[in-house]
Structures are given as structure tokens and as C-alpha cells.
Chains A and B, each alone.
Chain A
């Protein structure tokens, strides 16, 4: 069975600082994908970044990067130069084949 753990229920960060959101996972599958989603107060789920288990390099998408440490089974999201609009819930997820399992999320508050 697959499992995702996000240990930070909430975080407060000063605007323009970098943010690291923690995510650890557990799976016995050799092949899997890791995702991060952002959910603002409007409720929509916005895909941010994807990391395949066989990818050699860490994924990056603009200000988002995924710090993938396969041996430690961690997939932390790093947001550089945070902005007020980054305030939202962030979900880490693991996928294999036909379904995704989500973590409980981290609520990020960016302070002006």
C-alpha cells in the first residue's frame, strides 16, 4: 500500500523568503510518480509539479522545485521568493498506474 505524510499542518513565512514544504512517502512499487498540488481558498486544485521515480534530476517549474531524495523517500516542495498569492493549502501525492493518494496537506500563510 502507498502512503503520503505531510508533517506540517500549517506554516507562516515572510514574503520573498523561500519555503520548503515537507513530504515523505512509503511505497513498495518500483515505479511511481510524485505530485504537488495547490488549493487556494476558492477550492480548485492546481497542479504544480511532477517527479517520476526514475527521473535522475529534480523537477523544476518556475519558482517551484521538488527536492527528491529517493533513498529517504522524501519529495519536498521548495518555493523560491514566496509571494502573497502563494498562500494556500498544498498537497503532496503519490501515484501509480490508475490512482493517486494524497497527503493531508499543509496550509501555507505568506506574511506581508
Chain B
């Protein structure tokens, strides 16, 4: 069966410090991978998605970046965190393109980031 891992679970970082959040998927090959951010009490905002190694699409311009060094590894980074980067970060995966209707996404447990 497929599983998705995220770490760390919680993180408290000072403004201006770097960030690295990691997401890995097991039990599937060539998944589509996604990073979302959820501000407190609000909906999900798609940040990045990737359909393959080294292929990253950015949805929202910001001081965050994403990389996919391996097929089942997705990393969210920042060189200098802002206060507004605080939130709940969710990684998700879905099967590769199968039809025009899209496939359900399976979410990781999330990382709660607080920037002070």
C-alpha cells in the first residue's frame, strides 16, 4: 500500500532563517506531487506541483521554492522565512495522468510551521 511521510511534524523558526520540509512517498512510482499551505482557519493554497523528477510548477510567486531530486521525494525550501510563511504545510500525491478527470490526492500528515 502507498504511504506518504512528512517531516518534521512541527517547526518553530525565526524570521530570516532557512527552511527545508521533506515529503516522501512509498509504494507507488512516478506520482504527481504537491505542496499546499493552509493558513490558520483558511483553505488550502496550492504552492507547487511536480509531474516528474526535476519538473516543478509554481502556482504562487513567493520566497518559497520546491525541488524533486528523486521520483518519490519532494522538498519545500526557503532561504529566508517571513512571518507570513507561518501555516500548515501539506504534501500530497496522486497517480500519474490517467484521464482528464483527475485522480484523488492523498495527503501527508502535514507540518505546522510557526515563524517568529
Q: A32 with B102: in contact, given A97-B97, A99-B34, A99-B46 (CB under 8 Å)? A: yes
CB-based contact A91/B44 at 8 Å: yes
What CA separation (Å) do A35 and B106 show in the bound complex? Answer: 12
Interchain residue pairs with CB less than 8 A apart (11): A30-B100, A31-B99, A43-B109, A47-B106, A91-B43, A95-B105, A99-B59, A100-B46, A102-B36, A104-B42, A105-B42
The interface-forming segment of A12-20, A49-57, A80-88 is A49-57
Q: How many residues of B contact A (CB 8 A)?
A: 28
CB-based contact B107/A96 at 8 Å: no
CB-based contact B101/A52 at 8 Å: yes
What CA separation (Å) do A99 and B42 show in the bound complex? Answer: 19
CB-based contact B110/A44 at 8 Å: yes
Residues of A within 8 A of B59 (CB): 99
In the complex, A45 has a CB within 8 A of chain B:
yes
Residues of A within 8 A of B (CB): 29-33, 35, 37, 43-45, 47, 50, 52-54, 91, 94-105
CB-based contact B46/A101 at 8 Å: yes
What CA separation (Å) do A17 and B109 show in the bound complex? Answer: 30
CB-based contact B107/A44 at 8 Å: yes
CB-based contact B100/A31 at 8 Å: yes
Give per-residue flags for B78-92: 1 if the beta carbon is below 8 A from chain A beta carbons, else 0.
Answer: 000000000010101
CB-based contact B44/A43 at 8 Å: no
Q: How far is the CB of A104 from chain B (nearest CB, A)?
A: 4
Residues of A within 8 A of B94 (CB): 98, 100
Minimal Cβ-Cβ distance residue in A for B42? A104
What CA separation (Å) do A100 and B49 show in the bound complex? Answer: 10
Q: How far is the CB of A8 from chain B (nearest CB, A)?
A: 13
CB-based contact B100/A29 at 8 Å: yes
Q: How far is the CB of A28 from chain B (nearest CB, A)?
A: 13
